[in-house]
Amino acid sequence: MSGYFFLIPVSLALGFAGLALFLWTLKNGQYDDLDGASERILYDEDRPLNDHGND
């Protein structure tokens, strides 16, 4: 029974810490562009390092 007096505040503190971190990521825009990374691979923007003889 005395273990509950230790585990309940620890679990509440971890829950509030997780909630605070999640709200911080929302505030900083971590979830604004969900489709950008998945579509970025489809666009070919690679350029050769040098253009010797490619006229």
Determine the pLDDT at residue 13.
98
Longest CA–CA separation in the chain, Å: 81
5: helix, coil or strand?
helix
Residue spans of the domains in the chain: they are 1-28
pTM of this prediction exceeds 0.75 = no
Question: What is the four-CA torsion angle of 36, 38, 42, 48, rounded to 10 degrees?
Answer: 80
pLDDT tens-digit readout, 1-55? 888 899 999 999 999 999 999 999 999 988 888 777 777 777 766 666 666 655 5
